[in-house]
Structure 1
Amino acid sequence: MRGRVSSGLVAAGTAVALGCLALTVDNLRRLRTPDAGAAPVPAPEPVTVVLPVRDEAAAIEPCTRAVRAAMDRLPGPARLVVVDDRSGDGTAELARRVAAEDPRVEVVAGAPTPPGWLGKPWACQQGAETADTGQRPGVLVFVDADVRLEPHALAASVALLRSSGLDLVCPYPRQQAHGTAERLVQPLLQWSWMSTLPLGLAERSARPSLTAANGQLLVVDAAVYGAAGGHGAVRREVLEDMALLRALKRVGGRGVVVDGSTVATCRMYEGAGALREGYRKSLWSAFGSPLGAAGVVALLVLAYVVPALAALRGSRAGLLGYAAGVASRVLVARRTGGRAWPDALAHPVSVLALGALTADSVVARRRGTLRWRGRPVEVGR
């Protein structure tokens, strides 16, 4: 009886892994990419780049330098609004130095976070409110300080937004990973939505479950953003990027994540400690509830760990499931500029690491110990 149950689990896990591989292949055909060779923008229009920063002294100058170079490629008026979210490490002084060199750059001293708001949505909202797009609504671009834009990034991304007819696009930067912990976990960012979200359906559907977004680089039509309530509509959300796209969908907007590996790079966390702290603040909310988190982790283990363990015992079905997981990782890595080999071979270990990080985040949330940059992660805590 035990053998039949074990074989059934292996077969089920392998079937899920093969299904996700098939979806990955289909998504790779549909995945939109900002085209560096395309005409920059169909017509000149105002573009405002909002850069929220808090204690980013090491990143502010290289980030703003890259943004300014990318603004040079835009045919219409462009502004960079740096919102200093009450930094204590000299970030504001460095930002003002940049503004003194370029009249297109404005530094906003962030006001104290109001009750009912989290820090990043409040900083983004303040930046968006400064946008002066004239008679035309224009485009808002939100970018994180750890992102480095290529010179063609803004022009190509805005061109994609307009040519696609979408209201929001998130060019997913190429994720830079160094060291064991980063290389195990960071590649799962692109792989997760590429292997589970049907992109063609996600573009058309208003269903909240069919949503993937990335606030590292987010390009949105300013008028639709305003109609959705801006970041005020997601003021309490830890994953404000996902919530913002859902808010746009509620007012009839459409958006999707796209391949931004040719227009931007990002190293989110440096080292295992920073990676654990960063994921602890957000993974608890990624799956809706602790039960949802447990269900997703269990499904990932079924699909990518159980077949691998069975393969070690000589199971052909297990070997097929393990190979499907590795193949999915390799295909995504090659498309998005990641490291395919030998990292993809450790895919089951990556899944276990993600499960451990998720459990750590859920436990920390229940204990009320979640903090980020010196502030509580949840409103009211």
Structure 2
Amino acid sequence: MEWIGAGSLLAWVWLLLGQGFFWRTDVRLPPRTGPERWPTVAVVVPARDEAAVLPVSLPSLLAQKYPGRAEVFLVDDGSTDGTGELARALAGERGGLPLTVTSPGEPEPGWTGKLWAVRHGMALARERGEAEYLLLTDADIAHEPDSLRELVAAARSADLDLVSQMARLRVAAFWERLIVPAFVYFFAQLYPFRRVNRPTARTAAAAGGCVLLRCEAAERAGVPESIRHAVIDDVTLARAVKRAGGRIWLGLADRVDSVRPYPRLGSLWRMVSRSAYTQLRHSPLLLAGTVLGLALVYLAPPAALVTGLAGVLTGGADAGGGTAAGTAAVLGGAAWAVMAATYVPMLRYYRQPVWTAPLLPFTALLYLLMTVDSAVRHYRGRGAAWKGRTYGAP
């Protein structure tokens, strides 16, 4: 335990200082001013069985106060709950930006349903006129009235080809409070925003709920055809744009929110497990490394502290054993303290009590189990399942 505690503490010191300051939550939209001419924007919303959230999200898009021309294209991806009809009714009641509701039919082989819908929406937008930007946003995302204006202003001011904001997810139920902030925290740990936003860095990522994409950059990257198979489509999109020479930006949102509820552990479990093994490229070796890494980084500190304290209290087998136990307790406690401290900014961003930061090892254990379950589902032929569709490895 002494050596394990030392290894965990070293890992946390490196994560604190050497992983792009991933734990900070101050990466927001870059400084921006309104352009002299506001470009035309096509808003593409892929939607499959979203009648439950559409009454909140769609009116927020239609109510955008955008100085230029904008049009909303909602692509009904084979819904069975009346999503398309509801969208038309909401547009008739609320007014605002023009709305077109369309349906592309079942996706062709090799396409995920969402990207097939995005492809259809982009094609329809091209037919309607020369849009300079696309706003790709999910059907469960609600935007404040100035959201589109601020995104375009940021893209124009910093000459960015892709601007993405990670929407603030819902944290109302117990399991949402426990798991959702950690979801964003772990995402930022994998893809530190500061590295994503550095043009010379290889790291690329986006948050699929809110992506403003320059049409010219999409054409250079061959999007969406070049990423048609992607289950984790947002990260794959960002990689394609960056590899094609585009400049990308990713940060946290202040005025863009997800309204999709995850009130039970089961719904959150499915959200994570459906793509966790895909993130690991369906590799058993990467899965084993991830499990060991999560255990060392998140589970070892409390284990070393508890085991060390138990050894100190019992006096150890001898004086040397007691000293080793005390050292393990100190190292484990220090690693746990650093871990909790890095989690505090994310808890504050989500307006959650700071005292819950030491619970992160328990949440990490849940994510470890979700990741293993994702691999099990994949080998049982049920991996990457979403709303009646299952996608295998490309």
Which of 305, 311, 330 in structure 2 is aligned with 1:311?
305
Residue in 1 aligned with 2:6? 11
| Aligned-partner SS, 2:378 | helix
| Aligned-partner SS, 1:305 | helix
Which of 252, 257, 264 in structure 2 is aligned with 1:264?
257
Question: Which structure 2 residue ranges, 5 or more long, are not aligned?
Answer: 310-328
Q: Does 1:48 align with 2:39?
A: no
Q: Is the 8 A contact 1:329 1:340 kept in 2?
A: no
Superposed displacement of residue 185, structure 1 = 2.0
- Distance change (3 Å), C-alpha of 1:121 and 1:331: same
Q: CA–CA distance in 1 between the matches of 2:150 and 2:257? A: 11
Q: CA–CA distance in 1 between the matches of 2:217 and 2:123? A: 14
Q: Does 1:82 align with 2:77?
A: no
Q: Is the 8 A contact 1:174 1:266 kept in 2?
A: no
Residue in 2 aligned with 1:22? 17
Superposed displacement of residue 195, structure 1 = 3.5
> Which protein has the larger Cα radius of gyration, Structure 1 or Structure 2?
2
Which of 247, 253, 260 in structure 1 is aligned with 2:246?
253
Amino acid at match of 1:373: K
| Aligned-partner SS, 2:262 | coil
- Which string of whole-angstrom CA distances, capped at 9 and with x for unpartnered residues, describes residues 34-75 of structure 1? 37x964555311111111111111111211101112x2x211
Q: Is the 8 A contact 1:116 1:379 kept in 2?
A: no
Residue in 2 aligned with 1:128? 122
Residue in 1 aligned with 2:319? none
Deviates more, 1:265-274 or 1:311-320: 265-274
Q: CA–CA distance in 1 between the matches of 2:393 and 2:188? A: 31
Q: Does 1:324 align with 2:338?
A: yes
Superposed displacement of residue 104, structure 1 = 0.8
- Distance change (3 Å), C-alpha of 1:57 and 1:135: closer
Q: Does 1:285 align with 2:278?
A: yes
Superposed displacement of residue 133, structure 1 = 8.9
Superposed displacement of residue 91, structure 1 = 0.8
Which of 357, 362, 366 in structure 2 is aligned with 1:349?
362
Structure 1 segments of 4+ aligned residues over 6 angstroms from their partners: none
Q: Does 1:112 align with 2:125?
A: no
Q: CA–CA distance in 1 between the matches of 2:88 and 2:191? A: 41
- Which string of whole-angstrom CA distances, capped at 9 and with x for unpartnered residues, describes residues 101-148 of structure 1? 546111011222111111111111111112249886511111112211
Q: CA RMSD in A?
A: 2.5
Q: Does 1:364 align with 2:377?
A: yes
Which of 231, 240, 244 in structure 1 is aligned with 2:233?
240
Q: CA–CA distance in 2 between the matches of 1:207 and 1:233? A: 22
- Which string of whole-angstrom CA distances, capped at 9 and with x for unpartnered residues, describes residues 250-295 of structure 1? 2111213211133334446332221122222211111223322332
Amino acid at match of 1:19: W
Superposed displacement of residue 345, structure 1 = 2.0
Q: Is the 8 A contact 1:52 1:120 kept in 2?
A: yes
- Distance change (3 Å), C-alpha of 1:133 and 1:157: farther
Which of 138, 144, 150 in structure 2 is aligned with 1:144?
138
Superposed displacement of residue 160, structure 1 = 1.6
Q: Is the 8 A contact 2:46 2:77 kept in 1?
A: yes
Q: CA–CA distance in 1 between the matches of 2:200 and 2:255? A: 28
Q: Is the 8 A contact 2:25 2:345 kept in 1?
A: no
Residue in 1 aligned with 2:322? none
Q: Is the 8 A contact 1:170 1:213 kept in 2?
A: yes
Superposed displacement of residue 309, structure 1 = 1.6
- Distance change (3 Å), C-alpha of 1:30 and 1:277: closer
Q: Does 1:167 align with 2:161?
A: yes
Amino acid at match of 1:243: T
Amino acid at match of 2:184: Q
Residue in 2 aligned with 1:92? 84
| Aligned-partner SS, 2:197 | helix
- Equivalenced residues, count: 370
Q: Is the 8 A contact 2:76 2:84 kept in 1?
A: yes
- Which string of whole-angstrom CA distances, capped at 9 and with x for unpartnered residues, describes residues 194-213 of structure 1? 345443333235665x1222
Report the TM-score when normalising by structure 1.
0.89
| Aligned-partner SS, 1:189 | helix
- Distance change (3 Å), C-alpha of 1:361 and 1:375: same
Deviates more, 1:265-274 or 1:241-250: 265-274
Deviates more, 1:344-353 or 1:21-30: 21-30
Residue in 1 aligned with 2:387? 373
Residue in 2 aligned with 1:297? 291
- Distance change (3 Å), C-alpha of 1:162 and 1:113: same
Q: Is the 8 A contact 2:347 2:354 kept in 1?
A: no
Q: CA–CA distance in 1 between the matches of 2:19 and 2:198? A: 18
Q: Is the 8 A contact 1:183 1:343 kept in 2?
A: no
Deviates more, 1:174-183 or 1:248-257: 174-183
Q: CA–CA distance in 1 between the matches of 2:330 and 2:35? A: 52
Amino acid at match of 2:106: P
Amino acid at match of 1:167: D
